[in-house]
Structure 1
Amino acid sequence: MNNRVMGYYCRLLCVVLLGSLIGTTCRAQQEGGVVYRDYTRREAVLLDSLKRGNVMSLFKGINELKKQVLEVKESAPVNVKLRREERRKLLPEEIIERRRESVLTVNKYLRAMAGPEMVTDWATAVVLSEDGICVTNYHVFGELLDAGVKLNPRDSVMFVAAENGRVYPIMEVLSFNRAADMAFFRIDTRGDVLVPMPVGRDLPIGSDVHLLSNPEGYPYTYTRGIVSRTVTLNPEDPFANRMEMTADFAKGSSGGPIMDDRGNMVAMVSCIRAIYYSHQPPYYLQMNVKLTVPVSAFRRLIEG
């Protein structure tokens, strides 16, 4: 075989191997420095990741996880050393490129019963430490934290995943606060060193904000806006403070990080309250008020 033919087969083998590698994560193309990622097969890729190499044996079943969660005390201190906040202002595209590794999807594996086995994207979470401490909303774990809620028999495991398809078991919930709609939890990093997001400070009205979250069916979506209002839902409870903003989010964005112009996390998505023109049909939706939890609530529970 001459060198030319051998070179052809070597290049072909490289293409096949690269295609196989990309197929296990998030398929992507690049055009002029812009990356086009294929998210259409994401849930199938995550299901494949769970079943490859007996990975599921690492995971706690959702019933076992619920037993652990019900023993957690509300507002228990969390021992985590936060990443130092960044000082240099960044362009929006720099913020997203540098922080996307710190944003995870919260997912469920549903066993085959009434329907086929599948993985669903559930919410968003943020990495706070290299060794796997993360934060999301209280309501994301609501069915686990409420002893009176019965689990869906199809629910088998709850886990998180990175954008590249790497899956991580949720090992335990560390703390939570209902009023702040937040919950800290720990994942098994499976030997990986995670990239924590730097944590900043609360922002005043008029400040620019940037959000990277996972609206249902549209993972890793970026929106931006400003802080529109700062309010308290209960003047006697500092955990009830909220930052309202104009950046869009939707179902699945729960737990998503709101960042300042330096890429520091300054708040976390909580909920939407709709304002209608009428309380009777036709309702005529006029405005959605987006409520978020400021990071001052996180700092009240963090030791480190």
Structure 2
Amino acid sequence: MKYKLFTYVAVLIGITAVAQAKPLPAVVDDSEIIKSLSNGLGDLIDKGNVPTSKKLASQLDKKTCKIDLPTVSSEKPRNIYDKCADSVVAIASVYKCNKCTEWHNSGAATGWILTADGVMVSNYHVFGGKDVSGFGIRTRDGRVAPVVEILAASKRDDVVIFRVEGKGFIPMALGPDARVGEELHIIAHPDSRFYTYTSGRVSRYYRKRMPAKDGEGPAIMAVTAEFARGSSGGPVMDVNGNVVGMVASTQSIYYPPKKKTDKQGPFQMVIRNCVPVSAIRALVEKPGA
């Protein structure tokens, strides 16, 4: 009896030790990320190391770029977040008001790393139409780097490929086109809630409606995974961690109002629009081609 009791206690102690030894998940400090990105980018601008938004805007007409792309992964990771989160960055621009000397953040969006030498991807609308002192990124581990060049862009497909200063980044591979119904994963920064993970499936591909004068609209990948403002530019990944799309926009559907005096009827659902990976590939040429 004593032997059985000793064995039972030993097993409990072993289980407790294993449970205590398991590290806690990393806790995201949203305020610290915003502060370090704003201050870090502001310091770089003060040193004269950051191109202005006007200079970058003049490069948005570049159609393609030549890049050595990472190899596609065929192995399913144990945890998709652990594998891919370090390849997701926060993008921000800063400005100074006329009331103080501090740098202010004009809002954060999402981007992701395409090559180890600083080539990254986000939405065209993140960069287009802004008059700010400069753009920069912050990696998950706190590294801040300025955006120094636009390599290729498509306003129609809402894609921009850009380069930041530095090397040694952790890239993500471009995967194959995802089929309707396939599982997918997103890591993004909705409303400055940094490194938020959601999952879902591809719900359909459709052609965006455009005015007749603008011709055929771009192909859109609709998904069921949730995201919100600030998620723009976030990578949409397959089960192996390859990028199969990119977060772009949302559209809310409301039932028609019953009364003419009502602005809108009851809310029904949100359509979540993403850029398909084929639109990103279209901006990349293989070196030597």
TM bucket (normalised to shorter chain) is: 0.7 to 0.9
* Structure 2 partner of 1:122: 108
Measured in 2, the distance between the counterparts of 1:241 and 1:282 equals: 28
* Count of residue pairs the alignment pairs up: 258
Aligned with 2:247 (options 269, 277, 295):
269
Aligned with 2:203 (options 228, 239, 243):
228
**Residues 59, 157 of structure 1: 8 Å contact kept:** no
Post-superposition Cα deviations, 1:80-111, rounded to whole Å, max 9, x if no partner, equal 111111111234xx211111111111112222
Decide whether aligned partners of structure 1 residues 119 and 227 sit closer, same or farther in structure 2, where only a CA change above 3 A counts: same
**Residues 237, 245 of structure 2: 8 Å contact kept:** yes
The percent of aligned pairs where both chains have the same amino acid is 31
2:80 counterpart letter in structure 1: I
* Structure 2 partner of 1:97: 82
* Structure 2 partner of 1:180: 157
Secondary structure of 1:41's counterpart equals helix
Measured in 2, the distance between the counterparts of 1:114 and 1:90 equals: 50
1:258 counterpart letter in structure 2: V
Matches within 5 A, 1:57-76: 57=47, 59-62=49-52, 65-74=53-62, 76=63
1:292 counterpart letter in structure 2: C
Pairing 1:44–2:35 present: yes
* Structure 2 partner of 1:140: 126
Deviates more, 1:249-258 or 1:192-201: 192-201
Secondary structure of 2:282's counterpart equals helix
* Structure 2 partner of 1:147: none
* Structure 2 partner of 1:302: 284
1:34 counterpart letter in structure 2: L
2:165 counterpart letter in structure 1: D
CA deviation after TM superposition for structure 1 residue 188, in Å: 0.6
Matches within 5 A, 1:1-304: 32-37=22-27, 38-50=29-41, 56-57=46-47, 59-62=49-52, 65-74=53-62, 76-91=63-78, 94-114=79-99, 116-144=102-130, 151=131, 155-189=132-166, 192-233=167-208, 240-278=218-256, 280-304=262-286
2:70 counterpart letter in structure 1: R
CA deviation after TM superposition for structure 1 residue 114, in Å: 4.1
Deviates more, 1:134-143 or 1:117-126: 117-126
Secondary structure of 2:25's counterpart equals strand
Unaligned residue ranges in structure 1 (runs of 5+)? 1-29, 145-150
Post-superposition Cα deviations, 1:15-46, rounded to whole Å, max 9, x if no partner, equal xxxxxxxxxxxxxxx98322232333222233
Measured in 2, the distance between the counterparts of 1:89 and 1:268 equals: 20
Decide whether aligned partners of structure 1 residues 178 and 46 sit closer, same or farther in structure 2, where only a CA change above 3 A counts: closer
TM-score under structure 1 length normalisation = 0.77
Measured in 1, the distance between the counterparts of 2:217 and 2:255 equals: 31
Decide whether aligned partners of structure 1 residues 237 and 86 sit closer, same or farther in structure 2, where only a CA change above 3 A counts: farther
Secondary structure of 1:244's counterpart equals strand
Unaligned residue ranges in structure 2 (runs of 5+)? 1-19
Detail structure 1 runs of 4+ shifted over 4 Å in the superposition.
234-239
CA deviation after TM superposition for structure 1 residue 58, in Å: 5.2
Q: CA RMSD in A?
A: 2.5
Measured in 2, the distance between the counterparts of 1:292 and 1:255 equals: 9
**Residues 49, 165 of structure 1: 8 Å contact kept:** no
Measured in 2, the distance between the counterparts of 1:162 and 1:59 equals: 18
Measured in 2, the distance between the counterparts of 1:225 and 1:129 equals: 26
CA deviation after TM superposition for structure 1 residue 120, in Å: 4.5
Post-superposition Cα deviations, 1:256-298, rounded to whole Å, max 9, x if no partner, equal 0000000100000011011001254353211000010111111
Bigger CA radius of gyration: 2
